[in-house]
Chains A and B, each alone.
Chain A
C-alpha cells in the first residue's frame, strides 16, 4: 500500500490506518484503496482527525461514511458503498 498507510483485513473487513500521515497522504491512501476493484465491502478507517476533505470525494465515488466509537485520539470511520 502506498502513501505510508497500513492496510489489513480482520473478520472479513478491510482496515486502513492513516494516523500520523501529513495531508494529503491519508486522502490519497483511502481513495486509492476504495478504487481498487477488489475493495467491494466496507472499509474501516483509523484516522487521527475528522477527514472533512475526504467526504466530497467519497460522495463523488458513491461511498457513504459513518462515524464509529473510537478510543481517545482516534477518529474511526466505516466506509461503505452507497445504497441507491
Chain B
C-alpha cells in the first residue's frame, strides 16, 4: 500500500460504519414516537406537573434521553471525528454505548411511569455507564482536535455539563426511593438546567457552527462573535447552576439575563451565516430550526418568570414543555431531517459507485406532515397547559404522535431507498 493510500485510508476511517450512527438515529426515531405516546397517556397530569415520578416525567425522559441524547451521541460520534480530523481509536465504545442506552432508557422511563424503583435504578445505572463511556470517547476526541476551536470549546462545556447532569440525575433516582435529600426540588431544577441548557444546549449551539454553514453553504461566522456567545453561555450556565444549588434566586435571574445575551449573540452569528449563504432555498428543515430559535429565548423568559413566582401554578410545566419539546426537540428534528439523507449519501458514496442523491433519499410528504403536526402539537399543548385544559393537551399530544409517526415513515423510506440504491450501485459496478 502506498503512503498516499495509507493516508487516504486513515482519512476515510473517520467516517464510522453506517450501522453505528444509523442505529442511534433509528432508536431516536422510535423513542420519539414513544415520547409523544407517553404524553398522550400523561395528558391529565401535564398542566399541573412540577416534578416527581409519573407519566409526565417518563414522557419527558423518553424525549430528552431517548431522542435528544441518543441523536446527539450518534451525531457527535460521527461528526466530531470528521470535523476535528481525529478518528475514533476503536469501534466497540460506540456499540457499547448504544447497547447500554437503549434498554437503559426503556427501563428507566418505565420505572418513572410506574414509580417502580428497581427498573428506575437499573435503567438509570445503564444510562450513566453509557454516558460515562461516551464522555471518555468524546473528551478524547476533543483533546486531540486540531481545528474548529469554538466547536471544541462548546464540546468541552457540553462534556462537563453531561457529567454534572448524570451525577445529579443518579442522585435524584436514588433519592426517589430513599428520600435522603434535604432540598430535592433545588437539585431537580439544577439537573434540568445543566442537562437541557448545558449538555444539549451547548452541543446544539456548538454544532450549529459546523452544521449551519454546511447546510446553507456559507463561510464560517466571525470568530469574535462566536467566542462572545460561547463565553456568555458558559457564564450563564455557571451562574444558574450555582444559584439553583445554593438557593440564590438573584443569581438565577442574572443568569437568565446573561443567557438571553448569549442567545442574541448566537442568533446574530447564525444570521451572519444565513446572510452569506450560497444555497438560496433552505427548505422545511430551516423553517423548524427558525421556530426553535424563537422558542429558545421564550424558554429563558419562562424560566425567569418561574423564579420570580410570576408564571402561575402551571409555569413549571409550561417552561419544561417549551424548553424540551419546543426549543430542543424542534431544533433537533430540523437538523435530523437534513442530516439523515446527507449522511446516507456520504455512506452511499463510500461504498463505491455513484453517491445516492440527497434529494432522491428525502421523502418530502412525510416531512411536511410531520412539520404541520409538530407545530400544531406545540401550539395545542402550550395552550392546554396555559389554560389548564386536558382536552387541548390530549389533542396536542395526539397530533404530536401523528407527527412522530410521519417522521418515522420518512426515516423508513430513506433506509429503503438507500438499500435499493446500494443494490443498484453494486449491480452497476458488477456489470
Q: Which residues of A contact B (CB under 8 A)?
A: 3, 22-25, 27-28, 31-32, 35, 49-50, 52-53, 55-60, 64-65, 67, 69-76, 82
Contacts and interface: CB of A to CB of B under 8 A. Distances in A.
Nearest to B216: A24
Contact of B8 (A25, A35, A67): A67
A31 B217 contact: yes
A27 B218 CA distance: 9
Contact of B214 (A27, A50, A65, A74): A27
Interface of B: 2-4, 7-8, 11-12, 14-15, 82-83, 85, 147-148, 210, 213-214, 217-220, 278, 342, 345-346, 349-350, 354-359
A53 B342 CA distance: 8
B29 to A, nearest CB: 21
Contacts of B359: 60
A59 B345 CA distance: 9
B345 A56 contact: yes
Given A22-B220, A23-B210, A52 B148 contact: no
Nearest to B83: A23
8 contacts: A23-B147, A24-B219, A53-B82, A56-B346, A56-B357, A59-B358, A60-B357, A69-B2
A55 B349 contact: yes
Contacts of B15: 52
Contacts of B82: 52-53
B278 A31 contact: yes
A49 B218 CA distance: 20
Given A24-B213, A28-B219, A71-B4, A59 B357 contact: yes
A28 B212 CA distance: 13
A66 to B, nearest CB: 11
A59 B214 contact: no
**Interface hub of A25, A27, A59, A74 (most chain B Cβ within 10 A):** A59
